[in-house]
Amino acid sequence: MAKVLVVDDTEEHLFMFTLLLKQHQHQVETAMSPDSALTNVESFKPDIILMDVLLRNYSGRVLCKQIKNNHPEIHIVLVSADAAVLRNCEKCGADGAIEKPFDIVTVYNIINRLAPARFN
């Protein structure tokens, strides 16, 4: 079980990711804004963050870079419906990318790949 923070400004996406991850016994917290995400990073101390690239009035790439600068140990996976936006996501420090619509197997595979060894 890993600790996963899901950052998205759409409640339906938060619900879907939360449901999928909890089915596999992961601890999940959610955030709908950059400020809430940063607060949860400090309090929840996630192993992995699944983050939408396009947050209202804010770039997930910028937030990714900010989190990675302070917490390089946290794995961040960017999520977007626009494949072009996900290209070169490693330049902002992301450890992976998931294109919407996504399939469940892809999400599980990337979480299992990035989860700390003690959780696999």
Domain total in the chain: 1
Give me 99's structure tokens. Answer: 């294109």
The closest of 74, 29, 76, 80 to 52, measured between CA atoms, is 80
> Which residue has tokens 């290209």?
87
Where are any strands of DSSP class E within the chain? 3-7, 27-31, 48-52, 54-55, 58-59, 75-80, 96-99
97 DSSP β-pair partners:
78
Tens digit of each residue's pLDDT (9 = 90 or more) over 12-68: 999 999 999 999 899 999 999 999 999 999 999 999 999 999 888 889 999 999 999
Question: What CATH number corresponds to the domain at position 53?
Answer: 3.40.50.2300
Are the CB atoms for 79 and 64 separated by under 8 Å?
no
pTM of the model: 0.92
Tens digit of each residue's pLDDT (9 = 90 or more) over 75-119: 999 998 888 878 878 888 999 999 988 888 999 999 989 987 554
Structural domain range at position 24: 3-119
